[in-house]
Amino acid sequence: MVRTSYRAPKFIKNFVDWLSVAFLRVLAFLRLAKFSADIEKVKTFRSRVIWEEAKRRGIPMEQVILFGQPLDYYRALLRQGFAGDTKTIYFESIPIPPESLDMRRNWDDKFILKGEFEKRGIPVPRCFALPLFHSQKNLEKIFSKLEKPVIIKPKVGSRGRHTITNINSLQKFREGIAITRQISPYLVVEEHLLGDVCRATLVDGMLAGFFRGHAPTVVGNGKNTIKKLIEERDKDRPERVEKIRVGEELHSHLARLGYQIGDILPEGKSITLSYHFGRLFGGRTVEMIDGLHPSFIPIFERAAQAVDLAVVGFDSIIPDPTKPAETQKWGIIECNTLPFIDLHYDALEGKPRNIAGMIWDLWR
């Protein structure tokens, strides 16, 4: 139930698991907590696809309701063996077997992950951890070592919040650090790879799904302003694609590309409108494991072997996933130890992948 790092001895992990379940049962006895079978209260789409697959398999599953608030924690009753023995498991969002929850290192830390992958010859962008206290000279030294543009992001997590992209000057570098430190004091700076954001999800060491997200873009015609191109683009967008959000984030993104929203974009010039990808930000999404060039598969499987996790998602920047890996500059940018597997179900294009089923199969 509890994910622990390599620093925690097994007996401590087992005790923490036992204590968590015991405490939950006490709260339920006191009627401060309860278990709900109402799937409509599910907290995330990730958990929903897990629950829907459990129902198809006849696995009873319930959600933890604490002080009247639904949590992203659940329990399920599994039948095991020919004798029909049952076992109750507790989990956060994804039912990962307990022996696969321990991490040798904190793989959610982007700097640690890239350092490990670099040693193993797995493609990653060049990366530096920014010290909490730094001198101007030290910042200049780090900035000079990286190919431009660069990107600044929190070392751990953030889901794209306060990530600053397309940084080409030392001044913008300093400004980006100040903005990103609003969410985390611990940052990394890395080369800004060019391409689409892709998610490779692996279950039990095997590639289970490959999702490609396109950032929203416009192409100039030499006549219309960027604002007008956005308006025309929004008129023709598919129903499930959100409108482009015109606000401070868009203006900042365009400025780092050297444009303002009122500029006329030259004919044939293509620019992105956000560093976010996917239909929720006005882009496109494709589930394309069958179209992925086979040269990528052993690389992602080596990455899964390196982190030694039964369920893992790797985000990568790849110019064209349909072409050989060795012919383009690409890299894995982060690891998701509790990946949003629902991405592979809800793409605009491509056949959904039943990754929830593969995860439940881990308990056989």
For residue 148, report the phi and psi dihedrals to the nearest 5 degrees.
Answer: -90, 150
Q: Are residues 284 and 330 in the same domain?
A: yes
- Nearest-angstrom CA–CA distance, 286 and 36: 34
Quote the pLDDT of residue 336: 92
H-helix or E-strand containing 317? Answer: strand 311-318
258 and 339 in one domain?
Answer: no
Which pLDDT value is given to residue 7?
52
Residue 147 lies in a domain: yes
pLDDT in tens, 227-279: 999 999 888 888 888 888 888 889 988 988 889 999 999 999 999 888 788 78
Flag whether pLDDT at 212 surpasses 60. yes
Q: Of 102, 94, 91, which is closest to residue 13 (Cα–Cα)?
A: 102
Is 49 inside a domain boundary?
Answer: yes
DSSP H or E run through 332: strand 331-336
Q: How far apart are the first and last CA of the chain?
A: 18
Residue 147 sits in a domain whose CATH number is 3.30.1490.20
Domain count, the chain: 4
Whether the pLDDT of residue 161 is over 60: the answer is: no
Candidates 139, 328, 306, 308; CA nearest to 316 is 328
Strands 217-219 and 127-130: unpaired
Q: Is residue 308 part of a domain?
A: yes
Higher pLDDT among residues 81 and 63, named by residue: 63
226 vs 99 pLDDT, higher one:
226
* Same domain, yes or no: 199 and 297: yes
The pLDDT of residue 183: 81
Asked if 204 and 344 sit in the same domain, the reply is yes
Mean pLDDT, residues 283-296: 94
pLDDT value of residue 302: 97
Q: Where are the beta strands (DSSP E) in 9-146?
A: 33-36, 61-66, 69-80, 85-92, 127-130
Q: Determine the pLDDT at residue 159.
A: 54
Print the SS3 string covering 260-313.
CCCCECCCCCEEECCCCCCHHHCCEEEECHHHCCHHHHHHHHHHHHHHCCCEEE
If asked whether residues 332 and 236 sit together in one domain, one would say: no
Q: Find the helix or strand (DSSP H, E) in which 182 lies.
A: none
Report whether 122 contacts 115 (CB < 8 A): no
Q: At what angle are helices 297-307 and 110-119 packed, to 10 degrees?
A: 120
- Check whether 8 has a pLDDT greater than 80: no
How far is residue 288's CA from residue 178's CA, in Å, rounded to a whole number? Answer: 38
Nearest 5°: the CA angle 148, 143, 173 is 80
**Residue that wins the pLDDT comparison between 230 and 99:** 230
Same domain assignment for residues 172 and 254 = no
Residue 105 lies in a domain: no
If asked whether residues 76 and 151 sit together in one domain, one would say no
- Same domain for 88 and 132: no
Contact (Cβ atoms closer than 8 angstroms) between residue 151 and residue 189: yes
Residue 60 and residue 131 in one domain: no
Q: How many helices (H) and strands (E) does the chain have?
A: 9, 15
330 pLDDT tier (thresholds 50, 70, 90): very high
Within this chain, do residues 269 and 294 fall inside the same structural domain, yes or no?
Answer: no
pLDDT (0 to 100) of residue 15: 54
Average pLDDT, the chain: 88
**Looking at the structure, do residues 264 and 283 belong to the same domain, yes or no?**
no
81 pLDDT more than 70: no
pLDDT of residue 309 exceeding 70, the answer is yes
When pLDDT is cut at 50, 70 and 90, the band that residue 166 belongs to is: confident
Burial class (CB in 10 A: 0-12, 13-18, 19+), 113: buried
Residue 307 domain flag: yes
- List the beta bridge partners of residue 152: 164, 189
pLDDT level of residue 80 (50, 70, 90 thresholds): confident
Domain that holds residue 352: 117-122+193-215+275-364
What six digits make up the tokens of 195?
A: 């391409």
Q: Is residue 46 part of a domain?
A: yes
Flag whether 108 is in a domain: no
Contact 215, 281 (CB under 8 A): yes
* Domain assignment present for 111: no
Do the beta carbons of residue 143 and residue 150 sit within 8 Å? yes
Amino acid letter for position 234: D
DSSP collapsed to 3 states, 185-218:
CCEEEEECCCCEEEEEEEECCEEEEEEEEECCEE
- Residue 347 is encoded by which pair of tokens? 């793409």
Judged by DSSP in three states, 146 sits in: coil
* Residues 310 and 206 reside in one and the same domain: yes
> Is the peptide bond prior to 324 cis by the omega test (within 30 degrees of 0)?
no
Q: What is the pLDDT of residues 172-192, one digit of tens each?
A: 888 888 888 888 888 999 999
